Structure 1
Amino acid sequence: MSPNYLRSLPRTPPENGETEKDALFVQSIARAMDVLSIFHQIDRPLSLQEISSLTGLGRSNVQRIVFTLRSLGYITRDPDDRGYVPGLRLLDHSLDFLRLNPVVVKATPILLELRRAVRERVDLSIWDDLRLVYASRLQSKREILTSTFIGYSVPVFCVSGGWAILSQLGEDEADSILTRSRRKAVTPKTLTDLGALKEKIRETREAGYATALEQVLPGEIAIGAAILDQAQRPVAAIHVAGSLSEWTPEDFTRQFAPLLVQAARTISRG
Protein backbone atom coordinates (compact mmCIF):
# COMPACT_ATOMS: atom_id res chain seq x y z
CA MET A 1 0.00 0.00 0.00
CA SER A 2 1.90 3.09 -1.20
CA PRO A 3 1.42 6.50 0.44
CA ASN A 4 -1.01 8.80 -1.32
CA TYR A 5 -0.43 12.54 -1.02
CA LEU A 6 -4.16 13.15 -1.38
CA ARG A 7 -4.82 11.32 1.90
CA SER A 8 -3.29 11.46 5.33
CA LEU A 9 -0.90 8.71 6.34
CA PRO A 10 -1.35 6.12 9.08
CA ARG A 11 0.32 6.52 12.45
CA THR A 12 4.08 6.35 12.14
CA PRO A 13 6.34 4.05 14.16
CA PRO A 14 7.85 6.90 16.27
CA GLU A 15 4.34 7.81 17.45
CA ASN A 16 3.53 4.20 18.17
CA GLY A 17 6.80 3.69 20.01
CA GLU A 18 6.83 6.82 22.15
CA THR A 19 3.28 8.09 22.60
CA GLU A 20 1.88 4.70 23.54
CA LYS A 21 4.22 4.51 26.53
CA ASP A 22 2.33 7.40 28.16
CA ALA A 23 -0.08 6.27 30.88
CA LEU A 24 -2.72 8.59 29.46
CA PHE A 25 -2.67 6.88 26.06
CA VAL A 26 -5.80 4.76 25.49
CA GLN A 27 -4.78 1.87 23.27
CA SER A 28 -8.33 0.78 22.41
CA ILE A 29 -9.19 4.23 21.06
CA ALA A 30 -6.00 4.28 19.00
CA ARG A 31 -6.85 0.91 17.47
CA ALA A 32 -10.34 2.10 16.58
CA MET A 33 -8.83 5.13 14.88
CA ASP A 34 -6.40 2.85 13.04
CA VAL A 35 -9.40 0.99 11.62
CA LEU A 36 -11.07 4.22 10.51
CA SER A 37 -7.82 5.62 9.13
CA ILE A 38 -7.09 2.63 6.93
CA PHE A 39 -9.75 3.90 4.52
CA HIS A 40 -7.51 6.92 3.82
CA GLN A 41 -5.42 4.66 1.62
CA ILE A 42 -8.20 2.58 0.03
CA ASP A 43 -10.85 3.47 -2.56
CA ARG A 44 -13.24 0.54 -2.10
CA PRO A 45 -15.16 -1.30 0.63
CA LEU A 46 -13.09 -3.57 2.87
CA SER A 47 -13.84 -6.94 4.43
CA LEU A 48 -12.96 -7.76 8.05
CA GLN A 49 -10.04 -9.85 6.86
CA GLU A 50 -8.71 -7.00 4.70
CA ILE A 51 -9.02 -4.52 7.57
CA SER A 52 -7.16 -6.96 9.80
CA SER A 53 -4.39 -7.43 7.23
CA LEU A 54 -3.99 -3.71 6.49
CA THR A 55 -4.00 -2.58 10.13
CA GLY A 56 -1.99 -5.47 11.52
CA LEU A 57 -4.67 -6.06 14.16
CA GLY A 58 -6.04 -9.53 14.92
CA ARG A 59 -9.26 -10.48 13.18
CA SER A 60 -11.22 -10.95 16.42
CA ASN A 61 -10.05 -7.53 17.62
CA VAL A 62 -11.04 -5.97 14.30
CA GLN A 63 -14.43 -7.66 14.47
CA ARG A 64 -15.15 -6.10 17.87
CA ILE A 65 -13.94 -2.68 16.78
CA VAL A 66 -15.96 -2.73 13.56
CA PHE A 67 -19.08 -3.91 15.42
CA THR A 68 -18.73 -1.03 17.89
CA LEU A 69 -18.05 1.59 15.22
CA ARG A 70 -20.92 0.29 13.12
CA SER A 71 -23.28 0.45 16.10
CA LEU A 72 -22.28 4.11 16.58
CA GLY A 73 -22.62 5.00 12.89
CA TYR A 74 -18.94 5.52 12.12
CA ILE A 75 -18.73 2.47 9.86
CA THR A 76 -21.43 0.93 7.68
CA ARG A 77 -21.88 -1.70 4.98
CA ASP A 78 -21.64 -0.31 1.47
CA PRO A 79 -24.92 -0.25 -0.53
CA ASP A 80 -23.95 -3.34 -2.54
CA ASP A 81 -22.95 -5.23 0.63
CA ARG A 82 -19.40 -5.77 -0.65
CA GLY A 83 -17.75 -4.73 2.62
CA TYR A 84 -17.40 -1.91 5.11
CA VAL A 85 -17.06 1.82 4.40
CA PRO A 86 -16.91 4.95 6.59
CA GLY A 87 -20.25 6.01 8.04
CA LEU A 88 -22.20 9.25 7.88
CA ARG A 89 -21.43 10.19 11.48
CA LEU A 90 -17.90 11.12 10.44
CA LEU A 91 -19.27 14.16 8.59
CA ASP A 92 -20.56 15.52 11.90
CA HIS A 93 -16.97 15.78 13.09
CA SER A 94 -15.85 17.43 9.86
CA LEU A 95 -18.48 20.09 10.41
CA ASP A 96 -17.36 20.52 14.02
CA PHE A 97 -13.81 21.18 12.86
CA LEU A 98 -14.88 23.73 10.25
CA ARG A 99 -17.23 25.68 12.51
CA LEU A 100 -14.87 25.71 15.52
CA ASN A 101 -11.54 26.30 13.80
CA PRO A 102 -10.78 30.03 14.19
CA VAL A 103 -8.80 30.27 10.95
CA VAL A 104 -11.61 28.73 8.89
CA VAL A 105 -14.26 30.89 10.56
CA LYS A 106 -12.31 34.12 10.06
CA ALA A 107 -11.20 33.27 6.54
CA THR A 108 -14.56 32.22 5.09
CA PRO A 109 -16.10 35.66 4.36
CA ILE A 110 -12.74 36.97 3.10
CA LEU A 111 -12.34 33.99 0.78
CA LEU A 112 -15.84 34.52 -0.59
CA GLU A 113 -15.00 38.14 -1.37
CA LEU A 114 -11.70 37.12 -2.95
CA ARG A 115 -13.49 34.55 -5.11
CA ARG A 116 -15.93 37.21 -6.33
CA ALA A 117 -13.03 39.47 -7.22
CA VAL A 118 -10.80 36.97 -9.04
CA ARG A 119 -13.41 34.62 -10.53
CA GLU A 120 -10.87 31.78 -10.32
CA ARG A 121 -10.54 28.88 -7.88
CA VAL A 122 -9.78 29.94 -4.32
CA ASP A 123 -8.65 27.45 -1.66
CA LEU A 124 -7.86 27.54 2.03
CA SER A 125 -5.50 24.86 3.34
CA ILE A 126 -4.40 24.07 6.89
CA TRP A 127 -0.75 23.24 7.54
CA ASP A 128 -0.10 19.75 8.94
CA ASP A 129 3.68 19.16 9.00
CA LEU A 130 4.53 17.70 5.55
CA ARG A 131 1.14 18.36 3.97
CA LEU A 132 -1.55 20.97 3.47
CA VAL A 133 -5.14 19.86 4.04
CA TYR A 134 -7.88 21.68 2.15
CA ALA A 135 -10.52 23.15 4.45
CA SER A 136 -12.33 25.31 1.88
CA ARG A 137 -12.56 25.07 -1.92
CA LEU A 138 -14.37 27.74 -3.90
CA GLN A 139 -14.60 26.64 -7.51
CA SER A 140 -14.10 28.50 -10.76
CA LYS A 141 -15.84 27.62 -14.02
CA ARG A 142 -13.35 24.74 -14.42
CA GLU A 143 -14.27 22.08 -11.91
CA ILE A 144 -11.91 19.15 -11.28
CA LEU A 145 -13.07 16.20 -9.19
CA THR A 146 -10.10 16.30 -6.80
CA SER A 147 -10.62 20.06 -6.42
CA THR A 148 -14.19 19.82 -5.15
CA PHE A 149 -13.77 18.02 -1.82
CA ILE A 150 -12.42 19.36 1.44
CA GLY A 151 -10.07 17.02 3.27
CA TYR A 152 -7.84 16.29 0.29
CA SER A 153 -4.21 17.12 0.95
CA VAL A 154 -1.08 17.96 -1.04
CA PRO A 155 2.61 17.88 -0.10
CA VAL A 156 4.02 21.09 1.34
CA PHE A 157 7.26 20.84 -0.63
CA CYS A 158 5.83 21.44 -4.11
CA VAL A 159 2.78 23.72 -3.91
CA SER A 160 2.43 27.48 -3.74
CA GLY A 161 0.82 27.48 -0.30
CA GLY A 162 3.53 25.17 0.98
CA TRP A 163 6.31 27.40 -0.34
CA ALA A 164 4.58 30.39 1.26
CA ILE A 165 4.49 28.60 4.63
CA LEU A 166 8.09 27.42 4.35
CA SER A 167 9.19 30.98 3.57
CA GLN A 168 7.84 32.08 6.97
CA LEU A 169 9.86 29.49 8.90
CA GLY A 170 13.46 29.53 10.04
CA GLU A 171 15.96 27.96 7.68
CA ASP A 172 16.56 24.89 9.86
CA GLU A 173 12.85 24.13 10.25
CA ALA A 174 12.15 24.61 6.55
CA ASP A 175 15.12 22.40 5.63
CA SER A 176 13.85 19.70 7.99
CA ILE A 177 10.47 19.65 6.26
CA LEU A 178 12.05 19.45 2.82
CA THR A 179 14.41 16.67 3.90
CA ARG A 180 11.66 14.61 5.52
CA SER A 181 9.29 15.03 2.57
CA ARG A 182 8.92 12.17 0.12
CA ARG A 183 9.93 14.37 -2.79
CA LYS A 184 8.29 12.35 -5.53
CA ALA A 185 7.22 14.16 -8.69
CA VAL A 186 3.46 14.52 -9.11
CA THR A 187 3.75 15.93 -12.64
CA PRO A 188 6.72 16.20 -15.02
CA LYS A 189 7.17 19.79 -13.80
CA THR A 190 7.20 19.07 -10.05
CA LEU A 191 10.31 20.45 -8.35
CA THR A 192 12.08 17.79 -6.28
CA ASP A 193 15.68 19.01 -6.13
CA LEU A 194 16.57 20.44 -2.71
CA GLY A 195 18.60 23.28 -4.15
CA ALA A 196 15.83 24.34 -6.53
CA LEU A 197 13.24 24.15 -3.74
CA LYS A 198 15.35 26.28 -1.41
CA GLU A 199 15.72 28.86 -4.16
CA LYS A 200 11.96 28.88 -4.70
CA ILE A 201 11.43 29.46 -0.97
CA ARG A 202 13.93 32.33 -1.03
CA GLU A 203 12.07 33.92 -3.96
CA THR A 204 8.79 33.50 -2.13
CA ARG A 205 10.18 35.17 1.00
CA GLU A 206 11.24 38.18 -1.06
CA ALA A 207 7.99 38.45 -3.03
CA GLY A 208 5.57 37.77 -0.17
CA TYR A 209 3.77 35.11 -2.20
CA ALA A 210 4.64 31.97 -4.18
CA THR A 211 3.92 31.10 -7.80
CA ALA A 212 3.71 27.42 -8.77
CA LEU A 213 3.46 26.21 -12.36
CA GLU A 214 2.08 22.72 -13.05
CA GLN A 215 3.38 21.36 -9.75
CA VAL A 216 0.42 19.08 -8.94
CA LEU A 217 -1.89 19.56 -11.94
CA PRO A 218 -0.78 19.87 -15.58
CA GLY A 219 -1.72 23.22 -17.09
CA GLU A 220 -2.34 24.90 -13.72
CA ILE A 221 -0.87 28.06 -12.29
CA ALA A 222 -1.36 28.73 -8.60
CA ILE A 223 -0.26 31.53 -6.34
CA GLY A 224 -0.21 31.12 -2.57
CA ALA A 225 0.23 33.24 0.54
CA ALA A 226 0.69 32.18 4.15
CA ILE A 227 -1.69 32.92 7.01
CA LEU A 228 0.06 33.68 10.30
CA ASP A 229 -1.12 33.32 13.87
CA GLN A 230 -0.64 35.92 16.62
CA ALA A 231 2.89 34.64 17.22
CA GLN A 232 3.65 35.20 13.51
CA ARG A 233 3.87 31.46 12.87
CA PRO A 234 2.33 30.11 9.65
CA VAL A 235 -0.77 28.01 10.27
CA ALA A 236 -2.50 27.93 6.89
CA ALA A 237 -2.36 29.23 3.34
CA ILE A 238 -4.72 30.59 0.72
CA HIS A 239 -4.28 29.96 -2.98
CA VAL A 240 -5.70 31.26 -6.23
CA ALA A 241 -5.45 28.83 -9.16
CA GLY A 242 -6.06 29.27 -12.87
CA SER A 243 -5.33 27.71 -16.25
CA LEU A 244 -2.19 28.36 -18.27
CA SER A 245 -4.32 28.03 -21.38
CA GLU A 246 -6.02 31.27 -20.36
CA TRP A 247 -3.27 33.14 -18.52
CA THR A 248 0.41 33.82 -18.81
CA PRO A 249 2.20 33.50 -15.47
CA GLU A 250 3.05 37.22 -15.58
CA ASP A 251 -0.53 38.37 -16.19
CA PHE A 252 -1.97 35.99 -13.59
CA THR A 253 0.37 37.07 -10.82
CA ARG A 254 0.15 40.77 -11.74
CA GLN A 255 -3.64 40.73 -11.56
CA PHE A 256 -4.23 38.44 -8.57
CA ALA A 257 -1.17 38.46 -6.31
CA PRO A 258 -1.97 41.84 -4.67
CA LEU A 259 -5.52 40.68 -3.87
CA LEU A 260 -4.23 37.37 -2.51
CA VAL A 261 -1.60 38.98 -0.29
CA GLN A 262 -4.10 41.49 1.09
CA ALA A 263 -6.58 38.72 1.90
CA ALA A 264 -3.89 36.70 3.68
CA ARG A 265 -2.84 39.70 5.72
CA THR A 266 -6.42 40.44 6.71
CA ILE A 267 -6.97 36.88 7.90
CA SER A 268 -3.64 36.91 9.75
CA ARG A 269 -4.34 39.99 11.80
CA GLY A 270 -5.09 39.34 15.47
Structure 2
Amino acid sequence: MSKAKQPSLPTRDDVDPRLYVQAVEKAFRVLEVFGSLQRPLSLAEIAEASGLDKSGAQRMCYTLRCLGYLALDEHGRGHVPGLRLMDRSYDFLRMHPLVQRATTPLMDLRRTTQERVDLSLLDDLSIVYAVRLQSKRETFAATLVGRRLPAFCSSGGRAMLAQLSDDAIEDVFRRSDRRPMTPRTVTDLPGLRARIAEARALGYALALEEWFLGEIVLAAAVTDAEGRPVAAVHIAASLSEWEEEPFRRRMAPLAMEAARALSG
Protein backbone atom coordinates (compact mmCIF):
# COMPACT_ATOMS: atom_id res chain seq x y z
CA MET A 1 0.00 0.00 0.00
CA SER A 2 1.25 3.49 -0.83
CA LYS A 3 2.28 5.72 2.04
CA ALA A 4 1.32 9.35 2.48
CA LYS A 5 3.98 11.60 1.08
CA GLN A 6 6.19 13.19 3.70
CA PRO A 7 6.08 16.99 4.00
CA SER A 8 8.68 18.58 1.76
CA LEU A 9 11.55 20.68 3.04
CA PRO A 10 11.49 24.39 2.21
CA THR A 11 13.21 25.51 -0.95
CA ARG A 12 16.14 27.86 -0.74
CA ASP A 13 13.84 30.66 -1.99
CA ASP A 14 11.64 30.20 1.08
CA VAL A 15 14.30 30.73 3.75
CA ASP A 16 16.68 33.41 4.94
CA PRO A 17 20.19 31.90 4.56
CA ARG A 18 21.47 34.12 7.38
CA LEU A 19 19.18 32.33 9.84
CA TYR A 20 18.78 28.88 8.31
CA VAL A 21 20.90 26.18 10.01
CA GLN A 22 21.68 23.44 7.50
CA ALA A 23 22.93 21.05 10.19
CA VAL A 24 19.46 21.06 11.75
CA GLU A 25 17.93 20.36 8.36
CA LYS A 26 20.26 17.37 7.90
CA ALA A 27 19.32 15.97 11.31
CA PHE A 28 15.64 16.09 10.43
CA ARG A 29 16.30 14.59 7.02
CA VAL A 30 17.80 11.60 8.84
CA LEU A 31 14.80 11.30 11.18
CA GLU A 32 12.29 11.65 8.36
CA VAL A 33 13.61 8.72 6.33
CA PHE A 34 11.74 6.42 8.72
CA GLY A 35 8.46 7.90 7.45
CA SER A 36 8.85 6.10 4.12
CA LEU A 37 11.20 3.26 5.13
CA GLN A 38 9.46 1.72 8.11
CA ARG A 39 12.04 -0.79 9.32
CA PRO A 40 15.49 -0.75 10.95
CA LEU A 41 17.91 1.02 8.59
CA SER A 42 21.65 0.67 8.07
CA LEU A 43 23.93 3.70 7.80
CA ALA A 44 24.17 3.15 4.06
CA GLU A 45 20.37 3.13 3.70
CA ILE A 46 20.01 6.27 5.82
CA ALA A 47 22.69 8.04 3.81
CA GLU A 48 21.04 7.17 0.51
CA ALA A 49 17.51 8.08 1.63
CA SER A 50 18.54 11.37 3.29
CA GLY A 51 20.92 12.53 0.57
CA LEU A 52 23.91 12.66 2.94
CA ASP A 53 27.27 11.05 2.33
CA LYS A 54 28.05 8.04 4.52
CA SER A 55 30.45 9.96 6.76
CA GLY A 56 27.89 12.70 7.36
CA ALA A 57 25.16 10.14 8.03
CA GLN A 58 27.39 8.33 10.50
CA ARG A 59 28.08 11.51 12.48
CA MET A 60 24.44 12.54 12.43
CA CYS A 61 23.22 9.12 13.53
CA TYR A 62 25.79 8.96 16.33
CA THR A 63 24.71 12.40 17.61
CA LEU A 64 21.01 11.50 17.44
CA ARG A 65 21.68 8.24 19.28
CA CYS A 66 23.51 10.12 22.02
CA LEU A 67 20.50 12.44 22.37
CA GLY A 68 18.01 9.57 22.39
CA TYR A 69 16.30 10.43 19.10
CA LEU A 70 17.69 7.34 17.37
CA ALA A 71 18.47 3.90 18.77
CA LEU A 72 19.99 0.67 17.54
CA ASP A 73 17.52 -2.12 16.87
CA GLU A 74 17.70 -4.77 19.61
CA HIS A 75 18.36 -7.48 17.00
CA GLY A 76 21.26 -5.57 15.43
CA ARG A 77 19.48 -4.88 12.15
CA GLY A 78 20.10 -1.12 12.11
CA HIS A 79 18.77 2.18 13.41
CA VAL A 80 15.23 2.85 14.61
CA PRO A 81 13.55 5.98 16.03
CA GLY A 82 14.42 6.63 19.66
CA LEU A 83 12.10 7.02 22.62
CA ARG A 84 12.86 10.74 23.03
CA LEU A 85 10.79 11.41 19.90
CA MET A 86 7.72 10.44 21.93
CA ASP A 87 8.45 13.31 24.31
CA ARG A 88 8.21 15.82 21.47
CA SER A 89 4.92 14.29 20.28
CA TYR A 90 3.58 14.63 23.81
CA ASP A 91 4.72 18.26 23.94
CA PHE A 92 2.92 19.05 20.69
CA LEU A 93 -0.35 17.41 21.72
CA ARG A 94 -0.53 18.84 25.24
CA MET A 95 0.26 22.37 23.98
CA HIS A 96 -2.12 22.37 21.00
CA PRO A 97 -5.21 24.35 22.08
CA LEU A 98 -7.62 22.56 19.75
CA VAL A 99 -6.47 19.11 20.85
CA GLN A 100 -6.95 20.21 24.46
CA ARG A 101 -10.49 21.45 23.79
CA ALA A 102 -11.47 18.53 21.57
CA THR A 103 -10.71 15.61 23.85
CA THR A 104 -13.87 15.67 25.98
CA PRO A 105 -16.32 16.32 23.10
CA LEU A 106 -14.69 13.56 21.06
CA MET A 107 -14.99 11.12 23.97
CA ASP A 108 -18.69 12.00 24.20
CA LEU A 109 -19.03 11.43 20.45
CA ARG A 110 -17.30 8.07 20.75
CA ARG A 111 -19.73 6.97 23.48
CA THR A 112 -22.71 8.08 21.39
CA THR A 113 -21.65 6.46 18.12
CA GLN A 114 -19.85 3.38 19.46
CA GLU A 115 -17.55 3.76 16.44
CA ARG A 116 -14.03 5.08 15.96
CA VAL A 117 -13.72 8.84 16.34
CA ASP A 118 -10.67 10.80 15.17
CA LEU A 119 -9.45 14.38 15.03
CA SER A 120 -7.11 15.24 12.16
CA LEU A 121 -5.13 18.42 11.52
CA LEU A 122 -4.52 19.90 8.05
CA ASP A 123 -0.90 20.15 6.87
CA ASP A 124 -0.80 21.39 3.28
CA LEU A 125 -1.34 18.26 1.14
CA SER A 126 -1.95 15.93 4.07
CA ILE A 127 -3.98 15.37 7.17
CA VAL A 128 -2.33 14.19 10.38
CA TYR A 129 -4.27 12.33 13.06
CA ALA A 130 -3.91 13.99 16.48
CA VAL A 131 -6.61 12.13 18.45
CA ARG A 132 -7.84 8.57 17.82
CA LEU A 133 -10.55 6.98 19.96
CA GLN A 134 -11.00 3.35 19.03
CA SER A 135 -13.98 1.12 18.44
CA LYS A 136 -14.20 -2.60 19.09
CA ARG A 137 -12.31 -3.57 15.91
CA GLU A 138 -9.26 -1.84 14.55
CA THR A 139 -6.12 -2.38 12.54
CA PHE A 140 -2.82 -1.45 14.16
CA ALA A 141 -2.29 1.54 11.85
CA ALA A 142 -5.72 2.95 12.73
CA THR A 143 -4.78 3.20 16.40
CA LEU A 144 -1.77 5.49 15.99
CA VAL A 145 -1.71 9.27 16.34
CA GLY A 146 0.70 10.98 13.98
CA ARG A 147 -0.44 8.94 10.99
CA ARG A 148 -0.43 11.03 7.81
CA LEU A 149 -2.83 10.56 4.90
CA PRO A 150 -3.20 12.47 1.62
CA ALA A 151 -5.91 15.12 1.90
CA PHE A 152 -7.33 14.39 -1.55
CA CYS A 153 -8.47 10.84 -0.71
CA SER A 154 -9.48 11.19 2.95
CA SER A 155 -12.85 12.30 4.23
CA GLY A 156 -11.26 14.78 6.64
CA GLY A 157 -9.04 16.19 3.92
CA ARG A 158 -11.94 16.73 1.55
CA ALA A 159 -14.09 18.24 4.29
CA MET A 160 -11.33 20.78 4.96
CA LEU A 161 -10.52 21.38 1.29
CA ALA A 162 -14.19 22.19 0.69
CA GLN A 163 -13.73 25.26 2.90
CA LEU A 164 -11.02 26.67 0.60
CA SER A 165 -11.25 28.61 -2.64
CA ASP A 166 -11.43 26.74 -5.93
CA ASP A 167 -7.94 27.97 -6.85
CA ALA A 168 -6.49 26.68 -3.57
CA ILE A 169 -8.17 23.30 -4.05
CA GLU A 170 -6.85 22.97 -7.59
CA ASP A 171 -3.36 23.77 -6.32
CA VAL A 172 -3.60 20.96 -3.76
CA PHE A 173 -4.80 18.51 -6.42
CA ARG A 174 -2.00 19.56 -8.77
CA ARG A 175 0.74 19.06 -6.18
CA SER A 176 -0.65 15.83 -4.69
CA ASP A 177 0.66 12.39 -5.55
CA ARG A 178 -2.72 11.05 -6.65
CA ARG A 179 -1.90 7.37 -6.74
CA PRO A 180 -4.79 5.10 -5.68
CA MET A 181 -4.60 3.54 -2.23
CA THR A 182 -7.30 0.96 -3.02
CA PRO A 183 -9.27 0.10 -6.18
CA ARG A 184 -11.96 2.53 -4.95
CA THR A 185 -9.74 5.58 -4.41
CA VAL A 186 -10.98 8.53 -6.45
CA THR A 187 -7.98 10.09 -8.21
CA ASP A 188 -9.32 11.73 -11.40
CA LEU A 189 -9.87 15.48 -11.25
CA PRO A 190 -13.55 15.46 -12.32
CA GLY A 191 -14.29 12.85 -9.65
CA LEU A 192 -12.42 14.78 -6.97
CA ARG A 193 -14.15 18.03 -7.90
CA ALA A 194 -17.50 16.25 -7.59
CA ARG A 195 -16.54 15.02 -4.10
CA ILE A 196 -15.62 18.57 -3.04
CA ALA A 197 -18.91 19.92 -4.45
CA GLU A 198 -20.79 17.27 -2.49
CA ALA A 199 -18.93 18.17 0.72
CA ARG A 200 -19.78 21.84 0.25
CA ALA A 201 -23.44 21.05 -0.33
CA LEU A 202 -23.84 18.60 2.56
CA GLY A 203 -21.47 20.06 5.14
CA TYR A 204 -19.45 16.85 5.42
CA ALA A 205 -17.35 14.51 3.27
CA LEU A 206 -17.54 10.74 2.88
CA ALA A 207 -14.82 8.29 1.86
CA LEU A 208 -15.92 4.77 0.97
CA GLU A 209 -13.09 2.20 1.01
CA GLU A 210 -10.64 4.77 -0.36
CA TRP A 211 -7.89 4.06 2.17
CA PHE A 212 -8.89 0.70 3.69
CA LEU A 213 -11.18 -1.81 2.01
CA GLY A 214 -14.25 -2.44 4.11
CA GLU A 215 -14.11 0.97 5.83
CA ILE A 216 -16.52 3.90 5.61
CA VAL A 217 -15.46 7.27 7.05
CA LEU A 218 -17.39 10.51 7.37
CA ALA A 219 -15.86 13.84 8.42
CA ALA A 220 -16.80 17.46 9.06
CA ALA A 221 -14.40 20.40 9.07
CA VAL A 222 -13.40 22.47 12.08
CA THR A 223 -12.68 26.12 11.18
CA ASP A 224 -10.89 28.92 13.00
CA ALA A 225 -12.30 32.37 13.81
CA GLU A 226 -11.64 33.51 10.22
CA GLY A 227 -13.40 30.51 8.74
CA ARG A 228 -10.22 28.74 7.65
CA PRO A 229 -10.15 24.93 7.94
CA VAL A 230 -7.77 23.69 10.62
CA ALA A 231 -9.04 20.24 11.56
CA ALA A 232 -11.70 17.63 10.95
CA VAL A 233 -13.81 15.35 13.11
CA HIS A 234 -14.01 11.81 11.66
CA ILE A 235 -16.35 8.92 12.39
CA ALA A 236 -15.22 5.58 10.92
CA ALA A 237 -16.98 2.23 10.77
CA SER A 238 -17.01 -1.13 9.01
CA LEU A 239 -19.10 -1.85 5.93
CA SER A 240 -19.78 -5.26 7.43
CA GLU A 241 -22.01 -3.47 9.96
CA TRP A 242 -23.21 -0.37 8.10
CA GLU A 243 -24.65 0.45 4.71
CA GLU A 244 -23.80 3.85 3.27
CA GLU A 245 -27.15 5.65 3.58
CA PRO A 246 -27.96 4.61 7.17
CA PHE A 247 -24.40 5.57 8.14
CA ARG A 248 -24.82 9.01 6.58
CA ARG A 249 -28.17 9.59 8.29
CA ARG A 250 -26.90 8.55 11.70
CA MET A 251 -23.38 9.97 11.74
CA ALA A 252 -23.44 13.15 9.63
CA PRO A 253 -25.47 15.28 12.10
CA LEU A 254 -23.27 14.11 14.97
CA ALA A 255 -19.99 14.85 13.17
CA MET A 256 -21.17 18.27 12.02
CA GLU A 257 -22.43 19.18 15.50
CA ALA A 258 -19.09 18.23 17.05
CA ALA A 259 -17.15 20.17 14.39
CA ARG A 260 -19.31 23.27 14.92
CA ALA A 261 -18.74 23.08 18.67
CA LEU A 262 -14.97 23.06 18.15
CA SER A 263 -14.88 25.77 15.47
CA GLY A 264 -13.92 29.38 15.99
Give the shorter-chain TM-score range. over 0.9
* Structure-1-length-normalised TM-score: 0.94
8 Å contact kept, 1:186–1:215: yes
Alignment partners' CA distance in 2, 1:216 and 1:67: 37
Aligned counterpart in structure 2 of residue 8 of structure 1, from 3, 6, 9: 6
Distance 1:10 1:179, change over 3 A: closer
2:169 aligned with 1:170, yes or no? Answer: no
Aligned counterpart in structure 1 of residue 178 of structure 2, from 152, 165, 183: 183
3-state SS, counterpart of residue 154 of structure 1: strand
Aligned counterpart in structure 2 of residue 89 of structure 1, from 63, 76, 84: 84
Aligned counterpart in structure 2 of residue 200 of structure 1, from 179, 195, 210: 195
After TM superposition, give the deviation of residue 17 of structure 1 in Å. 3.0
The one-character-per-residue Cα deviations of 1:174-219 (angstroms, maximum 9, x if unpaired) are 1111121111111111111111111111111111111221111111
Letter in 2 for 1:25: Y
After TM superposition, give the deviation of residue 10 of structure 1 in Å. 5.1
Letter in 1 for 2:128: V
8 Å contact kept, 1:220–1:243: yes
Instruction: Give the number of equivalent residue pairs.
Output: 264
After TM superposition, give the deviation of residue 230 of structure 1 in Å. 1.2
After TM superposition, give the deviation of residue 74 of structure 1 in Å. 0.7
Kindly report the root-mean-square deviation, in angstroms, between the aligned alpha carbons of the 2 structures: 1.5
Letter in 2 for 1:8: Q
Alignment partners' CA distance in 2, 1:10 and 1:77: 26
2:105 aligned with 1:120, yes or no? Answer: no
Distance 1:145 1:3, change over 3 A: closer
Listed as ranges, the matches of 1:49-198 within 5 Å are 49-198=44-193
Alignment partners' CA distance in 2, 1:253 and 1:20: 45
Structure 1 residue runs without a partner (length 5+): none
* Structure-2-length-normalised TM-score: 0.96
Alignment partners' CA distance in 1, 2:8 and 2:157: 21
Letter in 2 for 1:249: E
3-state SS, counterpart of residue 32 of structure 1: helix
Would you identify which runs of 4 or more consecutive aligned residues in structure 1 move more than 4 Å? none
